[in-house]
Chain A
Amino acid sequence: MTPTFNGYRRANGRVGVRNYVAVIPTSVAASSIVRGASEIGAWAKPTPHQMGTSQPPAAREQTERVLVGTGQNPNVGAALVVELGTEESDAGELADQIAETGKAVETLSIRDAGGTRLAVKRAKEILKDLNEEVSLARREEADASELIFAAECGGSDATSGIASNPTVGNASDRLVEDGGTASFSETPEFIGAEHILAERCVDDELREHLLERVAQREEMADMMGVDLRGAQPTPGNQEGGLTTIEEKSLGAIAKGGTTPVEGMVEYAERLPTGGGLVLMDTPGYDVESVVGKVAGGAQVVAFTTGRGSTTGNPIAPVIKVAGNPKTWEKMSNNMDVNASTVFDGDSVEEVGGRLYDTLLSVADGQHTEAEKRGLEEFAVNEVQPKQIAGSGVGR
Chain B
Amino acid sequence: MSRSDSPAGSDFDGYRRPDGRVGVRNHVLVLPSVICSHLVAEEIAEQSSRAVATPHDHGCAQLGADNEQTKQTFLGTAANPNIAGTVVVGLGCEHVQSDEVAAAIDERGLPVRELSIQGEGGTDPCIEEGSIAATELAGNADSTRAAPASIDELTVGVVVGDFDDSTLEHANPLVAELVDRVVAAGGSAVVAGNERFVAHQSAVRERAAAATLNDVDAMFERHEGLPPRANVVGRAAASADADAALGALGTNPIQEVLSYGEQAPNDSGLAIVDAPSRFEEAATALAAAGAHVVVHVTAEGVPAGHPIVPVLKISGDAETLEALAADIDVDAREASADDLERALLSVAGGQETCTESHGLTEFAITRVGPSM
A residues contacting B by CB (< 8 A) are: 28-29, 31-33, 35-36, 49-50, 52-57, 60, 84-86, 88, 110-112, 114-118, 120, 154-155, 188, 217, 220-221, 223-226, 228, 230-232, 234-237, 239-240, 283-288, 307-311, 327, 330-334, 373-377, 379, 381-389, 395
Contact = CB atoms under 8 A, between A and B. Distances in A.
B372 A373 contact: no
Interface in B293-339: 300-304, 319-320, 323-327
Contacts of B280: 28-29, 50, 52
B369 A310 contact: no
Contact of A285 (B122, B233, B371): B371
Given A220-B63, A386-B370, 12 more contacts: A28-B362, A49-B57, A53-B232, A112-B323, A231-B95, A283-B371, A284-B372, A310-B122, A333-B123, A333-B124, A374-B39, A384-B370
B219 interface: no
A377 B303 contact: no
A158 B327 CA distance: 52
Nearest to A34: B360
Given A224-B369, A334-B123, A373-B123, A32 B362 contact: yes
B184 interface: no
11 contacts: A29-B304, A50-B280, A85-B300, A111-B324, A120-B360, A230-B63, A232-B372, A235-B93, A310-B123, A327-B118, A330-B122
Contacts of B129: none
A283 B304 CA distance: 29
Contacts of B233: 54
A183 B361 CA distance: 36
A86 B300 contact: yes
Contacts of A228: 63, 372
Given A112-B323, A115-B323, A117-B326, A236 B93 contact: yes
A217 B121 contact: no
Contacts of A386: 226, 368-370
Interface stretch (B1-9, B64-72, B138-146, B172-180): B64-72
B9 to A, nearest CB: 38
B65 A224 contact: yes
A310 to B, nearest CB: 5
A240 B97 CA distance: 15
Nearest to B224: A389
A220 B301 contact: no
Contacts of B279: 29
Given A84-B302, A377-B36, A32 B360 contact: yes
B91 interface: yes
B93 A307 contact: yes
